[in-house]
């Protein structure tokens, strides 16, 4: 009879432990590579762009409002379904999605032009609208750089016009 605590059983344990170590080493290497690639890819960077703050004066308020509405309806994210533009604010309704799944809700976002302190355009055509305190008021993704710039021009121009009419 063989002794069950003999060399053979110990050899199996050693083999199992070696396999586990190799498995964890592989997982660690894969996670490290994933983290490294995520860090190297980074976030998209904001691009230098000086919005045209007199575009509304050039086009006229009705035409500028119509172009702003058409530009917003072309946004990729959020999916905007209705837009209302006045000289004081911009209001839009969009299809809410959570983790890529439509909820069926149509929330409303209302942005007063006077609250918009900064409009940033990123290299992936994302536009962020920030308040004076740095709070993100809205984030929109457009399908083209032209739409992102036109949107930035129009909201900046409406904001400048509103501030001038208020003496601010």
Task: Say what the pLDDT of residue 17 is.
Answer: 61
Q: What pLDDT is recorded for position 131?
A: 97
pLDDT at residue 166 in the model:
82
Q: Which CATH architecture has domain 55-166?
A: Roll (2.30)
Splitting the chain (168 residues) into consecutive groups of 10 residues, what average pLDDT does each group show?
Answer: 54 60 58 47 71 94 97 97 97 93 93 96 96 96 97 97 85
> Could you tell me the sign of the dihedral formed by the alpha carbons of 155, 160, 165, 168, in that order?
positive
Task: Give backbone dihedrals phi and psi of 112, rounded to 5 degrees, phi first.
Answer: -80, 135
Identify the pLDDT of residue 36: 42
- Both tokens of 71, joined, read 């530009």
Q: How far apart are CA 65 and CA 87, in angstroms?
A: 8
Which pLDDT tens digit goes with each residue over 111-157? 999 999 999 999 999 999 999 999 999 999 999 999 999 999 999 99
Q: Report pLDDT for 75.
A: 98
Q: Where are the domains of the chain?
A: 1-42, 55-166
- Say if residue 137 is exposed, middle or buried (CB neighbours under 10 Å; 0-12, 13-18, 19+): middle
């Amino acid at each position: 009879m063989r002794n069950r605590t003999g060399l053979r059983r110990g050899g199996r344990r050693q083999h199992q432990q070696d396999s586990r170590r190799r498995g964890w080493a592989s997982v660690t290497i894969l996670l490290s590579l994933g983290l490294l690639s995520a860090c190297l890819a980074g976030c998209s960077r904001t691009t230098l762009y000086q919005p045209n703050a007199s575009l509304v004066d050039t086009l006229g308020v009705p035409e500028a409002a119509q172009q702003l509405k058409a530009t917003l309806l072309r946004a990729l994210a959020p999916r905007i379904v209705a837009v209302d533009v006045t000289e004081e604010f911009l209001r839009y309704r969009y299809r809410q999605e959570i983790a890529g799944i439509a909820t069926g809700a149509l929330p409303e976002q209302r942005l007063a032009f006077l609250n918009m302190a900064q409009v940033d355009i990123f290299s992936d055509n994302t536009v962020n609208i920030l308040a004076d305190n740095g709070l993100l008021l809205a984030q929109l993704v457009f399908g083209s750089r032209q739409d992102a710039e036109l949107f930035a021009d129009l909201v900046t121009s409406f904001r400048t016009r509103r501030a001038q009419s208020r003496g601010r």
